[in-house]
Every structure is written in C-alpha cells, then in structure tokens.
Amino acid sequence: MTNAVHGDGRLRWTSVPRWTAAELPAAASYLACCFGDAGQQRAGDLLATADPGVPVRTAVFAAGWDAATAAEVGRLVGDCYAGVRIILAGPESAVMSAAAVARGLGAAGEELVLVATELPGGGAPAKGEHDTGRDGTVGHGTGEHGTGEHVAGRAGRRVFCAACRQSFPAEAALGDVVTCPGCAAGLIVDYRFSRPHAAYFGWPAGLDLHR
C-alpha cells in the first residue's frame, strides 16, 4: 500500500541515500566486504583498478544482513590499520548496515567506498553523505547534496519503528505502509533515513509529518 502524501519531488529535501558512480581511491590496503554475487562482482570491478602491489582482503557474505554478518564485519574492520579503504558492495540495506558498523568502530567517511548494487552505477554516496545531524539523518538540500540516484520502487529496506524502536527488514517502496513485526503497528516507510540505525524511519500510518 502506498501513501499518496509522499512524492518524489520532495526527495531533494530528505536524507534518502543518494548514489553516484564509485571510484577506488589510492590506499595502503583494501578490505572488500561483498554481499551477494552482484556485490562480489562490483567490488571485483573496482579492485581491478587497484595498484597490484597493494594488499587486498576480501570477504563474501550472503546478500542479507544478520547478527553473524554484523559480528564478522565488525571483526574484519577492527583488524584494519591506518591507510585502509573499506569497500562495502551489495544491496543498499546490507551496505548501509555494514557502514554503520564500520563507523561505530571509528571508520571515517573517506575510508569507506560504498556500492549499492540495485543501481547500475551506484557507488559512493554523493558528497555530503556523511554530514549527519543530531538524529543521525543527513539533509540533502540543494546543489551537491541533492545529486545522485536513490533506490526507487520496491526494494529490500530496513525500517526503524518509531513506536517500539526496533528495526526490521521489509520489501517496500518509499511511502508504502508496512507492519512492524514487533508491535504490529502500521508504518509509513518515510523519506528520512537514519545512518546509525541503517534504516528508514517508519512512522504510524495516518500521521502526516510533511504538512
């Protein structure tokens, strides 16, 4: 079900992740965490442009995200040294979850190369991606903050329930109404995204936050 009050014309003012073509920066070493076959392919394409003398560690995971994956990504990131660049490639939901783990362990934005495989050229989030506000969202206003593509239509997304404050996976488009498995609340998948939670905010259906 889609809530008609949301429109793509408002995307420029939201914290929805935007994706531009990925480029591989120079580094002392690389860590590539790949989620699913498409993630492995896209990470491989990037690493093919790397200096052959630079050490590379690669870890391949399923396309989804769970506690075991989070723990292993945390272990790999925790073993990194200064000068590393961390490639996270796969579905947006897995990539943003892995990025949240990496940031929680101290990784800076410039150390992360993020690739969303839902988009043909989707790579590093557009400039301004890491300028977070107090609630962990990012404001994309005008100019460079509004550039890049977003994952449109129905896609695998994590949703943060504003009622019970739990995150859960859902197949949904922005503006759809989904049911929280924790508290059974009907939630609108909002055009606000929390980087720390790696999830789209889900607000109780019928509550129009955009008037």
CATH of the domain at 111: 3.40.50
Q: What is the pLDDT of residue 126?
A: 41
Q: How far apart are CA 88 and CA 133, in angstroms?
A: 23
Say whether both 23 and 120 belong to one domain.
yes
Cα of 161 vs its chain's centroid, Å? 17
**Do 24 and 118 have their domain in common?**
yes
**pLDDT given at position 9:** 54
Contact 66, 167 (CB under 8 A): no
C-alpha to C-alpha distances, 160 to 94, 181, 201, nearest whole angstrom: 15, 11, 5
> Which pLDDT does position 3 carry in this prediction?
40
Same domain, 95 and 41: yes
Together in a domain, 118 and 200: no
Cα 180 to Cα 81: distance, rounded to the nearest angstrom? 39
On whether both 30 and 88 belong to a single domain, the answer is yes
Q: What is the pLDDT, as a whole number, of residue 199?
A: 96
Name the domain boundary from 95, 125, 155.
125
Q: What is the pLDDT along the chain (211 residues), one digit of tens a residue?
A: 444 334 455 556 578 898 988 889 999 999 999 999 999 999 999 999 999 999 999 999 999 999 999 999 999 999 999 999 999 999 999 999 999 999 999 999 999 999 999 987 666 554 434 433 323 333 222 222 346 888 989 999 999 999 999 999 999 999 999 999 999 999 999 989 999 999 999 999 876 555 4
Judge whether 81 lies within some domain: yes
Question: What does the pLDDT read at residue 40?
Answer: 97
Q: Which domain holds residue 79?
A: 19-125
